[in-house]
Amino acid sequence: MSEAMSYDALFAGEVIVTAPVPTAAGTYARGDLLECTVTSGVPAATFHKATAAAVVGNIYMIAAEAKTLDTAGTIDTYGAGYYDIAKVGIVGDETTNKLVLLSQGVVLKACQTGE
């Protein structure tokens, strides 16, 4: 987890570093919002990069590393915590994302940086 605690303005306060999560094949950037779809109360086997606004009932993590997976594998992630909304790879309506992610302890907020 070499990139896990790198300072790049992703953090806006305390965060929880979690265990690596099973992830579908694909290319991921640090800060991407990862989604595990839950259907009828059963979570999918892997996380994938979110392609739409967060949905109540699905599980979300934030990628802690940039990684390309040719086949399913694992990615280091962050869970609950405070993040700069400009550095998290959200898709869709900002307000919807903020509210749904807040229910899982992920707080997205605007931050000023020296970048």
Each residue's pLDDT tens digit, 36-73? 999 999 999 999 999 999 999 999 999 999 999 999 99
Q: Is residue 38 part of a domain?
A: yes
Higher per-residue pLDDT: 54 or 111: 54
Quick one: pLDDT band at residue 114, thresholds 50, 70, 90? low
Domain holding 24, by residue range, is 11-107
Task: Give 2-41 as a DSSP string.
Answer: TTTT--SS-EEEEEEEEEEEEE-SEEE-TTBEEEE-EETT
Q: Is residue 2 part of a domain?
A: no
Q: Is 64 helix (H, G, I), strand (E, B) or coil?
A: coil
Q: Which two tokens stand for residue 66?
A: 């940039």
Q: Is residue 45 part of a domain?
A: yes
Q: Is residue 56 part of a domain?
A: yes
Q: What type of residue sits at position 45?
A: A
Q: Is residue 41 part of a domain?
A: yes
Measure the CA–CA gap between 97 and 53, rounded to whole angstroms.
Answer: 6
The pTM of the full predicted model, rounded to 2 decimals, is: 0.89
Q: Is residue 4 part of a domain?
A: no
CB 60 within 8 A of CB 88: no
Confidence at residue 63, expressed as pLDDT on a 0 to 100 scale: 95
Domains in the chain, number: 1
Confidence at residue 1, expressed as pLDDT on a 0 to 100 scale: 41
Q: Is residue 48 part of a domain?
A: yes
